[in-house]
Structure 1
Amino acid sequence: MASKSQTVGDKIFESVGDLIKLLPSGTVFAYQFLNPLVTNHGRCNRFEKLLDVVLLIACGLSCAFSCFTDSYVAADGRVYYGIVTPKGLHPFSDPDAAQRDLSGYRLRPADFVHAAVSVAVLATVAVLDSYTVTCLFPGLVAAQPMLVKVLPAAVGAVASGVFVAFPNKRHGIGYPPETGVPAPAEKTLLGEEEGI
């Protein structure tokens, strides 16, 4: 009985780890740091509105892009990053990439789901930000107190459920795999473990 509860506990911690890994925390931090400057603390003119839209788009693209990156540790112990493609991982800088079988890192439907949820989390943070609402969505100012109560819990529950239903074994930019893990050609590929 203890082993079953340990297995459930391990699964819970693994899911929480996946959730932390998938949430766009760095991008959200950058957005929250730059947004007051770009929006002039909510008192923005046309140019500042344009800058805020550009900031939102850039942060959204960053959230989505990070879901399509992965990494591996080569036999020499170096970590190599790349972009996930339908045929496998396309590394940025591995000189021996042609000799490696990186097809297990191929693009999967779950990658698109993770990208959409990550962008939705960023959009939620943007809608909850008073400067963004005042600048870009003045019609939502009256509804913002209700949104602050409901939206984080709703989006958090949906995001958690999606990340549990579509677990992610990718180690994208900013989340390298543990060192000492052999290169994909020497082990079972991470992509094969996902099942999606």
Structure 2
Amino acid sequence: MADLENHSENQKQPLLNINALAQNQKNQAHKAINQTFQSTAHLANLLPTGTVLAFQLLSPILANQGKCTSANRFMTACLLVMCIFSCFILSFSDSFRDSAGNVQHGIATFTGFWVVDGPDPLPAETARKYRIRFVDFIHALMSVMVFIAVVLVDQNVVVCFYPSPSEDVKQIVTALPVAIGAICSVMFIAFPTTRHGIGFPLSAQ
């Protein structure tokens, strides 16, 4: 009788080990996904604060909390287009301190710098330091990608455009923000920028 009990316990033990291993792998996968979502949320800090704030305030209203009509979809689409354009164009903005110590903002151009809130333009030699560079286009593209990841996490917008999503759409909406967060994390490290533009954190320059 004792031999039968020991044999029964030996048969159950591998099943318990397999279940525990599967549960451990599942927990690790969830932990990795949560960490990536957190990194995406941290990346959102690199977006213009005014753009993100406008989107977060207006998206539930324009999308009618996901219960969209054709008019709601049109207004939400317009909001997304304006926010994406804002993220892109503001990536070329920058700031500097004038001789009096006041912070002034402007937009980088291919030849120099256009001051938008100051009475006097920058000297040509100084303005050339702020001109558009290739890395600015990389950052502009990444800002747009991060904003799209933020949009995909917003259920009001997702349900508005896809009220009855297929399994493929669900998988894309779930996986794409994670992929964007991982890719942009690497890209922001590989291509750092020194710009502190309109709506971005200002350094103590």
TM-score by length of 2: 0.69
1:30 maps to which residue? 54
Compare 21-30 and 112-121 and name the one that shifted more.
Answer: 21-30
Equivalent position SS for 1:170: coil
| Mapped contact 1:63–1:119 kept (Cα < 8 A) | yes
The 2-side partners of 1:121 and 1:98 are apart by: 32
Amino acid at match of 1:157: A
The 2-side partners of 1:68 and 1:79 are apart by: 17
1:49 maps to which residue? 73
Larger Rg: 2
Residue 168 to residue 78, structure 1, CA distance change in 2 (3 Å): same
TM-superposed CA distance for 1:98, in Å, is 4.8
The 1-side partners of 2:72 and 2:114 are apart by: 37
1:171 maps to which residue? 196
TM-superposed CA distance for 1:139, in Å, is 5.8
Once the two structures are superposed, residues 73-102 of structure 1 have per-residue CA deviations (whole angstroms, 9 ceiling, x without a partner) of: 011111110001001111113333254521
Q: Which runs of 5 or more residues in structure 1 are unaligned?
A: 1-17, 182-196
1:6 maps to which residue? none
Counting aligned pairs with the same residue, the percent is: 38
2:113 maps to which residue? 89
| Mapped contact 1:24–1:63 kept (Cα < 8 A) | yes
Amino acid at match of 1:95: P
1:11 maps to which residue? none
Cα RMSD of the aligned pairs, angstroms, is 2.4
TM-superposed CA distance for 1:142, in Å, is 3.9
Residue 130 to residue 19, structure 1, CA distance change in 2 (3 Å): closer
1:109 maps to which residue? 134
Among 155, 178, 196, the residue aligned to 1:153 = 178
Aligned length: 162
| Mapped contact 2:87–2:144 kept (Cα < 8 A) | yes
Equivalent position SS for 1:121: helix
Among 138, 145, 148, the residue aligned to 1:120 = 145
Residue 143 to residue 128, structure 1, CA distance change in 2 (3 Å): farther
Amino acid at match of 2:69: N
The 1-side partners of 2:49 and 2:131 are apart by: 25
Amino acid at match of 2:116: F
Residue 148 to residue 45, structure 1, CA distance change in 2 (3 Å): closer
2:89 maps to which residue? 65
Amino acid at match of 1:154: A
The 2-side partners of 1:132 and 1:98 are apart by: 42
| Mapped contact 2:88–2:144 kept (Cα < 8 A) | yes
The 1-side partners of 2:149 and 2:117 are apart by: 35
The structure carrying a bigger helix percent of its residues is 2
Q: Which runs of 5 or more residues in structure 2 are unaligned?
A: 1-41
TM-score by length of 1: 0.72
TM-superposed CA distance for 1:138, in Å, is 4.0
Among 154, 157, 177, the residue aligned to 1:132 = 157
| Mapped contact 1:80–1:93 kept (Cα < 8 A) | yes
The 2-side partners of 1:52 and 1:21 are apart by: 22
